Each structure stands twice: as structure tokens, then as C-alpha cells.
Amino acid sequence: MNPNYKELFEPLTFRSGVTLKNRVLMAPMTNFSSNEDGSVSDAELAYYQERAGGVGAVVTACVYVTKDGKGFPGEFGADDDSLIPSLTRLASAIKEKGAKAILQIFHGGRMSPPDQLPDGQTISASAVAAERPDAQVPREMTEDDITRVITAFGDATRRAIEAGFDGVEIHGANTYLIQQFFSPHSNRRTDKWGGTLEKRLSFPTAIVEEVFKNVKAHTTEPFIVGYRFSPEEGENPGITFEDTLALADKLATYPLDYLHVSVQNFWSGSIRDKEDTTSRVVRIQEHIGDQIPVIGVGSLHTPDDVVKAMQTGVPLIAIGRELIMEPKWVEKVQEGKEDTIPTTLSKQDQEKLVVPTPLWQAIINTPGWFPVED
């Protein structure tokens, strides 16, 4: 192995007591490939297993915690005990290759496609549509809805524990329901769940507390709990970076194992203030990294890219597209074969790369997402 990459392979022990064998994780990526009943398909199992040998942990695609929170066609679920055998198969497939298995738990809120929902009606903090074409106006959640969804995040955590996962990641990013409660764009409430910044924190923190309550009740083994968030929103009003620093401060008061910053590019600056070009991930690391580990992500393709990102102090890096193009990315770096890591995809590569057909079609038919060659 190139000695320049040694720090990628140092273990890290979380406050929960779980140790990752190295600093590289598989980023959560939707694959659109689950069965109609919300169970994990054989194609998904093969896809994850192919990529679980080298990384320290696999963060799965998001799972819906209630059927009215399903965010994508072909998304798998954790909303019912009948799905525990399916979740067990996935956890086992990942863990037997050597990676820790982390289940990302999620509710789509107003971003859910109506045609994926039982009654065709999205729900959110307030009856405010997203700023995108043809967005449905969601139904404002009642107190009972809020309690039901919070409880569902806890129940999904219990199912993850029973299925043998090593942890869960609370998906509070990418404009989905948890972020919708934190955002002044989507949350116009005047009750205890909205209004001031402090009240907009109430729903995210209630979910964190419910998740930990279930961890305490259902396992004595070390169990990872992480939280993912997006640093800013472009909408006005929208989440500012100052809001996010307040969120990070609040989250750091809980025994979370990590904060996962969701950005397209690790080095990108503010989307609200174009003159502020400092990496949002680095700013968050500088603000809170001495209290809680930060996971960075975003357009880090080569081991040199990952090392450069880690030299900012960020201790963990998640990679996504790189593991689709080269499932053995980590192994090749460890074996000194980084020069053989491909930087493009061929349209003929699906079988070789063990990618489910719905995901492969999305890759091939979305210009600019992957460097695809004919």
C-alpha cells in the first residue's frame, strides 16, 4: 500500500463502542430496486455484498418508516415487523463481508411522490408546497400524525436491532420530512413544533430521543446512531448555515456517534452566499468536530482526493459513485492497485459491476451523473 494512504486504514471507535476497521464508508444511495412489498430484492443483496468487503461501514439506501413516507419507487421498508426477515438478509449480507451495516431511516414528507403513497396525499410540517414544478401541496400534519411518525422512527430502530444491523442513520437531510420541520420554508407552524429556531428543532430532536429510547430498550450491545443533514437551503426563507450550526450544537448534546454532512461536493461553499467559498463540511468540522465525528462526502473520486479531504481534520469519508464504478475501490487502494481503479463506466458493465437493473437504467439515462462511455 502507498504509505500516503495509511490514514484511510486506521480504525475508529465510536462513543457507542462500535469500531470501524477503516475510515471509508459506502454512502447511502437510492437504488430503486426493492420488491413491491418493501422487501429487499436478491439483486440488491448481491449489489451490497459486492461492495461490503473493503469499506468500514455500509450506510444503506433509505428505508421508509411509514407507508405515507415512501420516497421512491423500489424503496425498501422498515415500517412493519413482517419486513424484519428481509432486513435480516440485508444486514447479514453486508456484515459477512466485513463491513458494519447501518440502516438509514427516513420519511419523505412533501417530497414523496403521490403515486407511491396509499392515499396519494403527501404530508409535512405545514401545507406549503416545495419549490419545484408540479409540487403537491402537502397536508399539514396533526399532533397525532407527528406522534405517529416519531414513534415509527423508534419502531424502525427496533426492527434494525432485531435484524442484526450495527446501527441506524437518521436521515435529516436532502429536503425530506425531518429537514422540512427544521426549515422555515416548509414549517410555518405556530405551535410547539414550529416558529422559532428552537421550536423548529423540536421534531428532529424528538426523533433522536425516540431512537435512543429504543436502542436502550432493545439491546445491550453497542449500536451506532448517526444523523445526516444538509447545511443550507436555497429557498427564502430557508435553512441558513447559522441555523445548521445551531442544529449541530443541539445534536452534539446527544450521544450520537457521528454527523454526516450531505453535499454534492466536499469542497463546495455556500449555496446562499456565493462569496462564501469555504467548504461547508470543513466549516462544520471546525465548529463541532472536537465534540462529535463528522462524515464528509461529495465528489471525492481518488484516494488522493480522500486523503486531501481528511487532512482538513474530517475523520470519516463516505464514497458513493466511486463504489458503483469500482466495488473493490477500498481493496485496490489497500493492495497498492489504485492505478487500476476505473474512472468511467461502459454501458456494457452492468453484470460485471453487479448493479440492479433499475439503478443501472437510472445511471445510463441520467446525463452527467456518471461518466458513461459507449
Q: Assess contact for 208 and 170: CB atoms under 8 A.
A: yes
Residue 257, CA distances (Å) to 100, 102, 169, 171, 220 in order:
14, 12, 10, 14, 16
Q: Which residue has the cell 426492527?
A: 159
Please identify which of the residues 48, 176, 227, 258 carries the catalytic annotation. Answer: 176
Beta pairing, strands 19-20 & 12-13:
antiparallel
CA angle 194, 196, 201 (to 5 degrees): 65
CA distance 318 to 99: 13
Q: Which of 374, 347, 352, 340 is nearest to 363 (CA)?
A: 347
Residue 277, CA distances (Å) to 75, 97, 270 in order:
35, 39, 6
Q: Which of 338, 357, 352 is nearest to 24 (CA)?
A: 338
Alpha helices in 96-193 (DSSP H): 143-163, 177-182
Tell me the sheet residues that pair with 316.
295
Residue 176 is a catalytic residue: yes
CA distance 72 to 63: 10
Per-residue three-class SS string for 315-333: CEEEECHHHHHCCCHHHHH
What DSSP assignment string belongs to 216-282?
HHH-SS--EEEEEE-S--SSSS---HHHHHHHHHHHTTTT-SEEEE--S-TT---SS-TT--S-HHH
Catalytic residues: 176
